[in-house]
Chains A and B, each alone.
Chain A
């Protein structure tokens, strides 16, 4: 952790960004589109209006939550790919309460104030449960968390689909009815923005940041991630820490799922997680598990859907792009960063081999 490393990370990131941008520009040129104009429109669109800025912020929140949780698991060397399913379970668990809330809760008095906390807590429980299950599969069943996570992702999607196609379905489409406003995260009167959600996400992220910096728990996770055997000899309860890291990550992912149903969508529908769990994984990989970078990178990643929509809704057809191109861009970016990181690691290893040996 020194300046050279930070500079290296920044270089990798901007290099990768450059490569991804060039790639997208080439694709656009081959489709007879105008990449420069599109770039300008993208930036205008993303930063130009308060409502777009609000959209970026709100799109970043669930990813930020997932990334925060994943910082814990990645630090402990756990590839919690199951985060996507944990988001889904969070959304489902929040819906258990949300769908029962009537339009009019004026009679509820003090109880009405408990709706949101209950929904959020239940969502965290749902995500934590799913993550805990992955951890138990790993610790008791010897099933690698990646495989366990993939399986549980699959199961969570099927639970979601059977609910919205079955008992929770309202109307012809596989989705619940829109939730009553008392069940939703309170919304800013003009903007698509929930100050409460922002506060919750920032607090959660801050807590993770502090935990990794200043607590025995965070230090233990680092030790486990680097050498679980040695950590055990130093007195760390390795299994327990793995379990708790997963559970904490699941709870945060569950919260992200709650944001999806209680703010973004206002109801439960298929693909409710929308890949934000995977986005979280990508963000953490992009920043190389360096917590301080997560916030700006999450915001950056969140500009992609908002900006691509700006391009799609543009009057100027030379900048209109397909929905898939945004995803291509994200994919290209991630790939470029990973490859860049790999190259850097190789160079560093070669240099290290030459310079010193531990």
Chain B
């Protein structure tokens, strides 16, 4: 009995010690003079995809606006940080003095709005969301997205120029408005270039999308992108365009190319994605978040920022200009000089408005009209793309 009570005492002492060490060590939190900007990433900051693009955007902000400090927290998802919620991350950032917080995943929408209600003095930018457009956001929330559609058109064009089997595959992530409009744009670019530059009948161009179910491979949950990519090539596809965050498409194409097949790939998201397999790379459409972020942060610092839904386009002068273009397309090593010239011409046409691919007549996949003869799609019509288009293979909606 004596021993038991001694043991109990020991437990109490230990707990007390743990607590008091903590209390003694407590110190005041960060100063308020400087501007602190928080970035919440859903994936690893070095994923060569979506999250890394945001990370580089945050670095750009630091570089361009002296005196700004950034806090980047990556891997905010239930798998990597099982016992951490977005709410906690945001609160911690604010504790550290953050006055602007970028939440860079579609997934963060609801929680971002909730946090914005709770911290009205902090500006929240939810990337890829459209709550502002829909009038559901408090006045301290903004949305921003890059007009990737244009670069996807270029990707589609590159694929159409290259294909010898007249068959293009698109490795799709999950199905939603955003991913549908990106596939549709890719298809429109491919169809246009197939017809215009190669002089072939677009009815003979096979363009198929297969959705794996998520942005990246989750064994047992999504279809395995490696298997899907191989299916595509086995089925006669010779150019594979990736719409997912990871690089399986390029890896598989590279393996097959090394075995002597003539196949190519186009990755996605991140400026450096071609480095995975340069020889078979036809280029990469990528996001360049820096300019948008700098603009927003500066506006908030000046006090001129107002809630808005921004869909930032490329700088058509030079889509790869790091300081001005929200989206870009880097040519890959597998393109010939002639193909590069054609693509540049195509890009130029997109830029000066001489080529507009979202013009009727266009029908949805089920045959219902999307755009009437001569009708030009509005931003909203494109943003909320409800279906794939006639002529495309693959499913339009998740069941």
Contacts and interface: CB of A to CB of B under 8 A. Distances in A.
B36 to A, nearest CB: 7
Given A1-B4, A292-B11, A310-B92, A48 B82 contact: no
Interface string B21-35: 111011101100000
Contacts of B22: 43-44, 46-48
A310 B11 CA distance: 27
A1 B3 contact: yes
A172 B109 CA distance: 11
Contacts of B38: 313
Candidate in A59, A174, A302 with the most chain B CB atoms within 10 angstroms:
A174
Contacts of A292: 7-8, 11
Contacts of B15: 295-296, 299
B221 A174 contact: yes
B338 interface: no
A276 B27 contact: no
Contact of B11 (A43, A293, A305): A293
Given A172-B106, A173-B106, A314-B71, A270 B79 contact: yes
A272 B221 CA distance: 15
Interface in B198-227: 213-214, 218, 220-221
Candidate in B74, B95, B174 with the most chain A CB atoms within 10 angstroms:
B95
A3 B4 CA distance: 8
Contact of A270 (B78, B80, B91, B95): B78
B164 interface: no
B384 to A, nearest CB: 13
Given A172-B174, A264-B85, A276-B83, A49 B95 contact: yes
A270 B18 contact: no
Contacts of B85: 264-265
A275 interface: yes
B299 interface: no
A309 B84 contact: yes
A7 to B, nearest CB: 8
Contacts of A46: 22
Contacts of A302: 83
A47 B27 contact: no
A318 interface: no
Nearest to A158: B220
B295 interface: no
A144 interface: no
Give the dominant DSSP class at A's interface: helix
B220 A161 contact: yes
B87 interface: yes
Contacts of B4: 1
Interface in A19-57: 40, 43-49, 51, 55
Nearest to A51: B91
Nearest to A162: B221
B18 A59 contact: no
Interface string A254-286: 000000000011000111111110000000000
Contact of A305 (B27, B83, B97): B83
B81 A305 contact: yes
A214 to B, nearest CB: 13
Nearest to B11: A292
A296 B14 contact: yes
Interface string B89-124: 101110111000000001100100000000000000
Contacts of A296: 11, 14-15, 18
A137 B390 CA distance: 54
B92 A47 contact: no
B73 A6 contact: no
Given A165-B213, A174-B221, A296-B11, A48 B26 contact: yes
Given A305-B81, A323-B81, A174 B97 contact: no
Contact of A274 (B8, B19, B23, B83): B83
A11 B369 CA distance: 76
Given A47-B25, A274-B83, A309 B18 contact: no
A192 interface: yes
Given A6-B10, A270-B79, A315 B36 contact: yes
A312 interface: yes
B279 interface: no
A18 B238 CA distance: 57
A14 to B, nearest CB: 9
Contact of B26 (A47, A174, A269): A47
A47 B19 contact: yes
B196 interface: no
A47 B14 CA distance: 15
Contacts of B106: 172-173
Given A2-B3, A47-B19, A313-B73, A271 B220 contact: no
B176 interface: yes
Interface in A223-274: 264-265, 269-274
A322 to B, nearest CB: 8
A174 B10 CA distance: 47
Contacts of A49: 29, 95
B36 A274 contact: no
Contacts of A44: 22, 25-27
23 contacts: A3-B3, A3-B7, A43-B25, A158-B220, A173-B106, A192-B88, A265-B78, A269-B78, A272-B78, A274-B82, A292-B11, A296-B18, A299-B15, A299-B18, A305-B84, A306-B88, A312-B73, A313-B38, A313-B73, A314-B96, A322-B75, A323-B81, A324-B80
**A-B pairs with the 6 shortest C-beta distances?**
A47-B22, A274-B82, A313-B92, A172-B176, A305-B83, A48-B26
Given A276-B82, A276-B83, A323-B80, 12 more contacts: A2-B3, A6-B6, A6-B7, A44-B25, A48-B27, A161-B220, A271-B82, A293-B11, A296-B18, A309-B92, A310-B92, A315-B97
